[in-house]
Structure 1
Amino acid sequence: MRDRQHGTYVKYKLDACRCYPCCFADSQYRANRRRAIAYGTWQPYVDAEPVRQHVRTLMDFGIGWKRVAALADVPTGVLTKLLYGHPQRGMAPSKQVRPKNAIALLAIQPTLDNLGSAVSVDATGTRRRLQALVAGGWPQAQLAARLAMQPGNFGSIIKRPQVIVRTVRLVHGLYDELWRVDPREHGVDNQAYSRARNHASDRGWAPVGAWDDDRLDDPDAFPDWTGLCGTPEGSAAHYRHKIPCCGPCRTARATARRAQPTSKAAA
């Protein structure tokens, strides 16, 4: 039996609960139904196609249809009929669904929180968060210990293109905990601190301050090392701050140089 909330018509109908709140909810449902029928506004079903497309979008994101059903608290049979019908009985996918099921399914969004913990996802944000912490002076061995990982496994996360959701959540939590923390105030000696920062610098790993929080997970985003990165002025800012010039600034500088002769000719 599902752990449905008391005081609902669904609990009364599907779980045969006869407690006072559920009986009251059933009586209200029936009264509202009779009233809607009398006024000609009763709508027991709605078009299934928008709901079906939404569920398929969730599935493409990585949320299996059974998990969608569980998140929406909708019987799996509803999803089976919605998506596949019943081929053995010659039944096509549902053309209509009940409004309450449609509302519940459409409310489920393709977010990290709704993914199963073993689903593989893009590792861009995970990789950038770990690299930023190393750039801030956190030794990889200490970060691995905080994630309950072996150092070898930790090192591969920084390089691999995909990770499972469980790892993403762990790294998000670690980053939120440590991104403003000075490692030297939490047991990291000066030598290990400098070694971690040099390791990150040699590999061009961006520090925390180079990323906007809302761009960390965007594969097309690039770190803003100077506040002017990606603009023609960015390369000069790199020089002033003694930071190696990044790719977007090199590209912007080259584009600006190519445009100069054209501008002079036009003048």
Structure 2
Amino acid sequence: MTRKPPPQHGERRCYLRGCRRPECVEANKRYCKQYRLATVHAPLRVDASAAVRRLAQWANQGYSHTQIATAAKINAPEVSKLLTGKQTAISLAHARRIQTAHGPSGAPYHAMTDAVGTIRRGRALHAIGYPIYRIAQDIPMNANDLGRLLMLEPATVRQSVANGMTALYQRLSGTPGPSHLAVCAARRLRWESPIAWDDDSIDDPAAIPDVTGFCGTDRGWWTHRIENLPVCPACAQAHADWLAAIKHLPRRERAILVGRAQAQAHNRGAAIAENARELLALGETYETAAARIGVSRNHLQQELLRHPETWKEAA
């Protein structure tokens, strides 16, 4: 009787006896592949063209490779290889998963949207005392990237960043932040606080910050000067246009118009604040009080902050 020679390295017999040297592991893999080819008629790998088209459709919608991999229940590196052409064949199981997947859910990570509202909200939070790194933590976003976004004003921003900034702004815009340095930096950069923006227009590129309630008009310019506020470009332009329009009048008439405009801007804010407090004391809401006075809710709140209650009103 002939005895079999003992297993040698590089043979499957050696692998079955517990050896895990590379050549033995490779021999076992080779045997398993040959056994599968001989006994299983389904192909091991199929052409990936159909799967790539479906993956590319999701990628074009702005979804990241990680989001796509989660939806298709495969790993992210395989998604990357398929989309970049480094892999042209795919296992039958993975091909079925991709074709039957419903697609990624949630906001596409790479989808882009207009950056105006995001920039205005970030600057407004900085203007009331929130440092850049504190804002970036809750978006979430890298602090350096957020700083460049607020300073350089790009045209677009990722949708996920815009959504995070909107949620953070809704939560913090009514509460002052802890950093006085942030307030000073924003004032130096002339970034407006939340009081200058209305929630309905903050995303509108054509909207301007309304600090006085009349920004963009000559009355707004006078209110800036009376309240010792930095004059915004819209009010500066409106005042320049108004002066040019009355330039042809005699000096005395111009002086009368200037005095009248200054007095009107000086008295109106205090009157609005006094009337608003009376209506609020009677149970009116900010919205109904603003409607009865004939101003916006944002303007009403500005005047209440600008003209605190006097001892005569309290009495």
* Superposition TM-score, scaled by structure 2 size: 0.44
One-letter code aligned to 1:147: I
Confirm whether residue 180 of structure 1 aligns to residue 166 of structure 2: no
- Structure 1 segment 66-81 matched on structure 2, within 5 A: none
1:201 matched residue in structure 2: 187
Name which of 242, 245, 256 aligns with 1:259: 245
1:25-52 Cα offsets, whole Å, 9 max, x none, are: xxxxxxxxxxxxxxxxxxxxxxxxxxxx
Confirm whether residue 145 of structure 1 aligns to residue 126 of structure 2: no
Matched-pair contact (CA < 8 Å) for 2:125–2:193: yes
Name which of 166, 173, 192 aligns with 2:160: 166
**How far 1:139 moved relative to its partner?**
0.9
The whole-number CA distance in structure 1 between the counterparts of 2:197 and 2:123 is: 11
Secondary structure, counterpart of 1:233 in structure 2: helix
The whole-number CA distance in structure 1 between the counterparts of 2:140 and 2:237 is: 40
Matched-pair contact (CA < 8 Å) for 2:138–2:164: no
The whole-number CA distance in structure 2 between the counterparts of 1:232 and 1:147 is: 38
**How far 1:147 moved relative to its partner?**
2.2
The whole-number CA distance in structure 1 between the counterparts of 2:241 and 2:230 is: 19
The whole-number CA distance in structure 1 between the counterparts of 2:134 and 2:161 is: 16
2:111 matched residue in structure 1: 119
Matched-pair contact (CA < 8 Å) for 2:122–2:165: yes
**How far 1:66 moved relative to its partner?**
8.1
1:116-143 Cα offsets, whole Å, 9 max, x none, are: 4422121000000000000011111111
Secondary structure, counterpart of 1:167 in structure 2: helix
The whole-number CA distance in structure 2 between the counterparts of 1:217 and 1:174 is: 15
- Structure 1 segment 87-126 matched on structure 2, within 5 A: 116-126=108-118
The whole-number CA distance in structure 2 between the counterparts of 1:177 and 1:237 is: 30
1:141-192 Cα offsets, whole Å, 9 max, x none, are: 1111222322111112213221011111111111111111232xxxxxxxx6
Matched-pair contact (CA < 8 Å) for 2:141–2:161: no
Gaps of 5+ in 2: 1-56, 60-105, 254-315
Secondary structure, counterpart of 1:142 in structure 2: helix
Name which of 135, 146, 150 aligns with 1:154: 146
The whole-number CA distance in structure 2 between the counterparts of 1:245 and 1:182 is: 23
Secondary structure, counterpart of 1:121 in structure 2: strand
One-letter code aligned to 1:261: K
One-letter code aligned to 1:157: L
**How far 1:225 moved relative to its partner?**
1.1
2:6 matched residue in structure 1: none
Tell me: higher relative CO, structure 1 or 2? Use CA pairs within 8 A at least 6 residues apart. 1
The whole-number CA distance in structure 2 between the counterparts of 1:117 and 1:169 is: 11
2:208 matched residue in structure 1: 222
Secondary structure, counterpart of 1:261 in structure 2: coil
Deviates more, 1:195-204 or 1:157-166: 157-166
Q: Percent identity?
A: 31
- Structure 1 segment 222-261 matched on structure 2, within 5 A: 222-261=208-247
- Aligned CA RMSD, in angstroms, stands at 2.8
Confirm whether residue 130 of structure 1 aligns to residue 116 of structure 2: no
1:70 matched residue in structure 2: none
Larger radius of gyration: 2
Secondary structure, counterpart of 2:218 in structure 1: coil
**How far 1:201 moved relative to its partner?**
0.7
Gaps of 5+ in 1: 1-64, 68-113, 184-191
Deviates more, 1:228-237 or 1:247-256: 228-237
1:79-119 Cα offsets, whole Å, 9 max, x none, are: xxxxxxxxxxxxxxxxxxxxxxxxxxxxxxxxxxx974422
One-letter code aligned to 1:204: R
The whole-number CA distance in structure 2 between the counterparts of 1:206 and 1:261 is: 32
The whole-number CA distance in structure 2 between the counterparts of 1:118 and 1:146 is: 18
1:83 matched residue in structure 2: none
1:93 matched residue in structure 2: none
